[in-house]
Amino acid sequence: MKQWVVKLLQQLDISFADSDSINVDSAPTRSMPVISEEKATLLYIMDVYNKHLFDMEKHSVRKVREKLDAMAKGLVDPDSKNVEKCLSEIRLFFSSYRVDESTYIQNTFDDFKRIVWDLADQLSEDIREDSAKDEQLSSHLQDLKEAVEANSLETLRKKSRQFINLYVEHQHAKNETRKKRLTSVKKNLDTVKKQLLEANSSLNLDHLTGAHNRKSFDETVKKYVHLNNMNPMQVSLIIMDIDFFKKINDTYGHDIGDFVLKECVRILKSVFHKDAEMVARIGGEEFVVILPNHAIEHALVRAEEVQKRIRSEVFVHGESTVRFTVSMGIAQLLDIENASDWVKRADTALYKSKNSGRNQYTVASTSQKPARVA
């Protein structure tokens, strides 16, 4: 079986009897199945979809993720009847979910368009009102010109008084209208700006933990690679995975699992709190930290600090008490290295940490092989 398929099965929330998942206290797990590349591709698509979900009115992320996990398990079931049933569920799920997803995005876009349209409509109405008043003033100005040509002192005096009074009144009203319009426009622009910021935040943040999401991480990684190509710099990233997270979910339930994810991010943000430092959630229980101006030795110090914090804390949620650890892979960006290779080196180091006993970090070497474990 191809290596990427094996790695995908290890990443999914499915228990198999491999050296990393055997638990003497639990029931025996099944052996690693042999699956076709077509089925593995479908699992890969579901896994990618799983990592980029967002909350909708009819579909909470947690419930959709549970549904996708259940279908992934069914897809690797050795019973062909169960697989056939699972494939039917997958077709029904995606056909329904995609419609709701598209509707949600369209409704959100329509709401934003309505705000912008209201702003444009108000400005158009104000302009039309100003034009009407200007036409009225222009008419009185024409009357004044005709009075000048009529050679009648009484008519000139009367028309002059009317024009001056109207002009003063018009200018005063115009100034007041301008003030009100500026206040109204500012209010509307603030609303639009808020909507844009919220939309941008929603696109770049993980809904559950408040960490940056995979999209935001990918964009940031590419940015640093681009900057490094123009002017070499020291920037490192730490990829980490919560150890035995599935066991936490199975033992305590998904509510506690979500609590652990949020607490993990809380600690990461308390340690990596500088403006330029990024904490992102890129998978179910997988996180990454980008550290600008950090050579590998400096990144190790920060990694040790956060591991020490996590090891020492006891996490209490309701009547449940949980402790957990994390495994890490650490890589400094190399000269003329692309984003994919940089992340891959750190990811390879992470799996070395997991396969070597977890609760530790591994430094990625420059030759795609992990250098050491600590």
Q: How far apart are CA 160 and CA 143, in angstroms?
A: 9
Give, in degrees to the nearest 5, the angle at Cα 165 between 163 and 170. 90
Interacting residues of 253 by C-beta distance below 8 A, sequence separation 6+: none
Helices (H), 151-230: 153-204, 214-230
Q: How far is CA 157 from CA 138, 161, 170, 223, 367, in A?
A: 18, 6, 20, 73, 96
Active centre residues (catalytic): 285
In contact, 140 and 166? CB cutoff 8 Å:
yes
Residue 318 Rama label (left phi>0; alpha psi -120 to 50; beta): left
Tally of CB atoms within 10 A around 348: 18
Q: Which residue has the tokens 């992470």?
A: 350
Beta strands in the chain (DSSP E): 235-242, 278-281, 286-292, 315-317, 320-322, 326-332, 361-364, 370-373
Q: How would you class 241 by CB atoms within 10 Å of its CB: exposed for 0-12, middle for 13-18, buried for 19 or more?
A: buried
